[in-house]
Chain A
Amino acid sequence: MRSLWRFDSPRHRSQKTGYWFILPYAVFFGAFVAYPLVFSFILLFHRWNVVTPMEWIGLKNFERLLSDPLFFKAIMNTLKFLLIHIPLQMVVALGIAVLLNSRLKFRGFFRAVFFLPVVVSGVVVTILWQQLYAFDSGLLNRMLSAVGIGKIPWLIDPDMAMLSIALMATWKNVGIYIILFLVGLQDVPRELYDSASIDGATRARQFFRITLPMLRPTFVVVVVLSTIGGFSLFVEPYVLTGGGPMESTLSAVLYIYNQAFYFNHMGYAATLGFVFALIILGVVLLQRKVIETEPMT
């Protein structure tokens, strides 16, 4: 890489221009990244409702967090979401990607349709699914009743609600992962399949022995992006359930939002944000490590 800019000249001009070019970003970084980071750290040790002066409370925010059932509830809800969301998304996305990767007419059309929910606002998708999930008048339940399965309490049953949100989120996001798997599939060298065929390996065996292992980098991306997505859930529970029933769909970000803007607990909300961020980083690092080292198949 270095040789690319070896001929830059005159050097001092480049030096000065460089600083001019990054100046706007330096200002932006100072105001919207560095300052908030420092301030977030200060908030961790204070109680504050924005109006009255800040009050130093030491580690009370952390003590409170460790004995806050809703904090743990939000984590469990997110894990429940991810437990459904990640495997479902992988199977559906990979399945569709394999189909799209074969010889096919209208490939562009199919790809475009599967990707449509990705570009549309989460608010639209949520309003739409609210109609699909409605208990009595919802399209899904009326369809299920018609075929004799009966109604499902999608959003009413606390055990069910988060799963319903995971299903909806999969519908919305799977298009991204179809595209990522398609790119991954196209990167698998053809010769691998050719030589495997000569050796008499069946299509299924080729899929498990060649395709899946070669897609490992894609799996990492899918798992990491889904996890970040799970911890960032907001609009879906905010509009669909308000976090209920019985806090069963309270997400991490919704809980931060409620603490900050419903109860005006800025210090505690910042502590929640800080701890959730650490959890996200920890989980993502762990996932990377596991998927990158775990033998596949």
Chain B
Amino acid sequence: MKAIIKYVSLGLGAVIFAYPFLWMIASSLKPEAEIGGFGLWSPHFTFSNYAQVTERIPLGRAFLNSIIVSLSSTVSVVVFGSMVGYALARLQFIGRGTLYAIVVFTMTLPFQITLIPQYILMVKLGITDTYLALVAPTLMTAFSIILFRQFFLYVPQALIDAARIDGCSELRILFRVIWPLSRPVVITVSLLTFMSSWNEVLWPLIVVRNRSLMTMPQLVTIFTIGGEAESLLGLQLAAATLLALPIIITYSFFQRYFIESMASAGIKG
């Protein structure tokens, strides 16, 4: 009896969390007149919403922009973040304690305070409406440095010493000895960075006005609120589905990593 209540309530919960997405995908494939329905099936499934929405806004280009931005941000955060994390955990230099304090301070700093000055910096550098402006403030994160440092503290010193005796440079030690041992933290940082970069809307809205440089969530946002969608539901849902699919597909492959990443991040954060 108890088990039944348990499964029924979890099942109900699952419906509440998953059904809206299924409805969104199904409705994006329905003709406009049928979208109001609750059901997931229609005998008139069509791709016309997708055809129309890609005709009105450059979603393909936006997809490419988002990939470029998210990938460069992720690669940079992982490479440079792990370098700083390694220096903080395993290298001796004067000022290390201060640097660590600075990184922790940066992490606790609310972004509201730096938002406007960062935009002004982009204006002064003359790089608004460029890829550089889109990625610049996200090239490194204090949070990733702290995660890397934490993990690198527990790599056995003997391995590092052995590599040094073999004449490896510290860079080589980091990328050839430490990295292979640190897959969990590398994956965690990569996924979290990619996801937050992919979903970021505010910063692109601020620094990019040129449509051909817009990221996907930005373009979809502007399309939805800007009247271009002419309150055609099907078009909005098709655009939303196209925006959601890459992350949902990635998530379905790396689901466990996503969840574990979030757990470890939340606890340390």
* Residues in chain A within 8 A of chain B (CB atoms): 1, 4-5, 7-9, 11, 13-19, 21-22, 24-25, 28-29, 31-33, 35-37, 39-40, 43, 50, 96, 99-100, 102, 104, 108-124, 127-132, 137, 139, 142-143, 171, 175-176, 179-180, 182-183, 221, 225, 228, 231-232, 234-235, 238-239, 242, 252-253, 256-257, 260-261, 266, 269-270, 272-274, 276-277, 280-281
Cα A231 to Cα B115 in complex, Å, equals 14
Q: 12 A-B residue contacts at CB 8 Å? A: A8-B92, A17-B87, A22-B87, A28-B140, A29-B106, A112-B255, A120-B244, A123-B201, A123-B217, A123-B224, A127-B236, A260-B116
Least CB separation from B119: chain A residue: A260
B248 partner residues in chain A, CB cutoff 8 A: 116, 119-120
B14 partner residues in chain A, CB cutoff 8 A: 109-110, 113-114
Give 10 new A-B contacts, CB below 8 A, not counting A4-B153, A24-B84, A257-B202: A5-B89, A21-B84, A21-B86, A21-B170, A96-B13, A115-B255, A119-B195, A221-B266, A273-B115, A276-B113
Least CB separation from B125: chain A residue: A31
A36 partner residues in chain B, CB cutoff 8 A: 113-114, 117-118, 121
B233 partner residues in chain A, CB cutoff 8 A: 131
B110–A281 contact, CB under 8 A? yes
* Residues in chain B within 8 A of chain A (CB atoms): 6, 9-10, 13-14, 16-18, 20-21, 23-24, 27, 36, 38, 80, 83-84, 86-94, 96, 99, 102-103, 106, 108-121, 123, 136-137, 139-140, 145, 153, 157, 161, 164, 170, 195, 198-199, 201-202, 205-206, 217, 220-221, 224-225, 233, 236-237, 239-241, 243-244, 247-248, 251, 255-256, 258-259, 262-263, 266-267, 269
A232–B111 contact, CB under 8 A? yes
Given known A119-B248, A228-B110, contact A14–B92 (CB-CB < 8 A): yes
B111 partner residues in chain A, CB cutoff 8 A: 232
Closest-CB distance, A220 to chain B (whole angstroms) = 11
With beta carbons under 8 angstroms apart, the residue of A15, A99, A225, A281 that contacts B9 is A99
Closest-CB distance, A90 to chain B (whole angstroms) = 14
B110–A15 contact, CB under 8 A? no
Least CB separation from A138: chain B residue: B36
Given known A112-B255, A131-B237, contact A183–B92 (CB-CB < 8 A): no
A43 partner residues in chain B, CB cutoff 8 A: 116-117, 120
Cα A7 to Cα B157 in complex, Å, equals 8
B262–A179 contact, CB under 8 A? yes
With beta carbons under 8 angstroms apart, the residue of A39, A108, A142, A221 that contacts B120 is A39
B21–A253 contact, CB under 8 A? no
A131 partner residues in chain B, CB cutoff 8 A: 24, 27, 233, 237
B109–A277 contact, CB under 8 A? yes
Cα A274 to Cα B90 in complex, Å, equals 36
B244–A40 contact, CB under 8 A? no
Given known A5-B157, A120-B248, contact A231–B13 (CB-CB < 8 A): no
Least CB separation from B265: chain A residue: A176
A182 partner residues in chain B, CB cutoff 8 A: 263
A261–B206 contact, CB under 8 A? yes
A99 partner residues in chain B, CB cutoff 8 A: 6, 9-10
With beta carbons under 8 angstroms apart, the residue of B80, B121, B266 that contacts A39 is B121
With beta carbons under 8 angstroms apart, the residue of A142, A180, A273, A276 that contacts B266 is A180
Cα A112 to Cα B269 in complex, Å, equals 22
A115 partner residues in chain B, CB cutoff 8 A: 255, 258-259, 262
A18–B17 contact, CB under 8 A? no
A123–B220 contact, CB under 8 A? yes
Cα A113 to Cα B21 in complex, Å, equals 11
B225–A242 contact, CB under 8 A? yes
Closest-CB distance, B133 to chain A (whole angstroms) = 11
Most A CB contacts (10 A, CB to CB) among B17, B140, B170, B217 go to B17
With beta carbons under 8 angstroms apart, the residue of A32, A143, A274, A276 that contacts B136 is A32
B91–A239 contact, CB under 8 A? no
